[in-house]
């Protein structure tokens, strides 16, 4: 495990924070993760991140780096081994498109998580999540249950952390397309993700 002098502000249940934590684990890196409530420290966070969101990383020189995907890409460039981003240009493009699909889940996920059980808003958001997830299907291959190829990679941290957050909040596993459910189950079988989403892992079994 390689320790880096990088401080990361995070929320414990935030799927984007957990995405980054899983990535760091897969890369065998050690960063300092600090639990941070954006609601209580809006002014401080605004100086570092115009989106007022976590995770936000502080590099050794004090400069901020925000958005889980951008932080991961920075770490992938700075510490290329073990490689998680594919070398092949087409696979890299498909990986980025999967992160784009993951971005489509963003509006529906908080509404689903926060709405009371059986509330019409919760049911509507659950349907939105299932529908948006279908956009990933043309991008997934059939080599294995992972997204691209036989090995776990960068693409496997796109939708799975968000869907695992939805599952632990009560989204029925059978509402997901079969291929996506297989993918999320395979990704959650990695200790890096499974240990962060134990309730979701139980819901998938």
pLDDT tens digits for range 115-139: 998 899 999 999 999 999 999 999 9
Contact call for residues 166 and 124 (beta carbons, < 8 A): no
The full DSSP string for 172-192 is -GGGS-HHHHHHHHHHHTSHH
Residue 73's CB is within 10 A of a number of other CB atoms, namely 16
Paired tokens of 59: 């590099």
Residues 56, 20: Cα–Cα separation, whole Å: 10
Domains of the chain: 2-78 (3.40.30.10), 89-204 (1.20.1050.10)
Contact call for residues 186 and 144 (beta carbons, < 8 A): yes
Residues 138, 143: Cα–Cα separation, whole Å: 14
Note the helical H segments in the chain. 15-26, 42-48, 68-78, 89-105, 108-114, 120-133, 160-168, 178-188, 191-194, 198-204
- What's the pTM value of the predicted model, to 2 decimals? 0.94
Assess whether 134 carries a catalytic annotation.
Answer: no
Residues 136, 138: Cα–Cα separation, whole Å: 6
Torsion sign across C-alpha atoms 160, 166, 168, 174: negative
Q: What does R_g of the chain's alpha carbons equal in angstroms? A: 17
- Specify the pLDDT at position 46: 67
pLDDT (tens digit, 0 to 9) for every residue of the chain, 205 residues total? Answer: 899 999 999 999 999 999 999 999 999 999 999 997 767 767 676 677 676 688 999 999 989 998 999 999 999 999 999 999 999 999 999 999 999 999 999 899 999 999 998 899 999 999 999 999 999 999 999 999 999 999 999 999 999 999 999 999 999 999 999 999 999 999 999 999 999 999 998 899 8
Annotated active-site residue in 14, 72, 98, 159: 14
Residues 129, 124: Cα–Cα separation, whole Å: 9
């Amino acid at each position: 495990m390689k320790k880096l002098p990088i401080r990361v502000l995070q929320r414990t249940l935030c799927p984007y924070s957990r995405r980054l934590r899983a990535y760091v684990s897969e890369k065998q890196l050690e960063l300092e993760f600090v639990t941070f409530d954006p609601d209580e420290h809006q002014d401080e966070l605004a100086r570092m991140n115009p989106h007022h969101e976590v995770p936000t990383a502080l590099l050794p020189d004090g400069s901020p780096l925000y958005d889980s995907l951008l932080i991961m890409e920075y770490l992938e460039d700075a510490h290329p081994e073990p490689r998680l981003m594919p070398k092949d240009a087409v696979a890299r493009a498909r990986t980025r498109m999967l992160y784009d699909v993951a971005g489509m889940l963003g509006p529906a996920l908080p509404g689903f998580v926060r709405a009371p059980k059986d509330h019409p808003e919760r049911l509507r958001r659950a349907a939105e999540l299932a529908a948006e997830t279908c956009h990933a299907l043309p991008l997934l291959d059939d080599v294995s249950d992972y997204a691209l190829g036989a090995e776990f990679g960068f693409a496997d941290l796109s939708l799975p952390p968000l869907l695992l957050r939805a599952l632990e909040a009560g989204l029925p596993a059978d509402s997901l397309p079969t291929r996506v459910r297989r993918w999320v189950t395979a990704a959650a079988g990695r200790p890096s993700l499974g240990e962060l989403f134990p309730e979701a892992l139980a819901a998938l079994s």
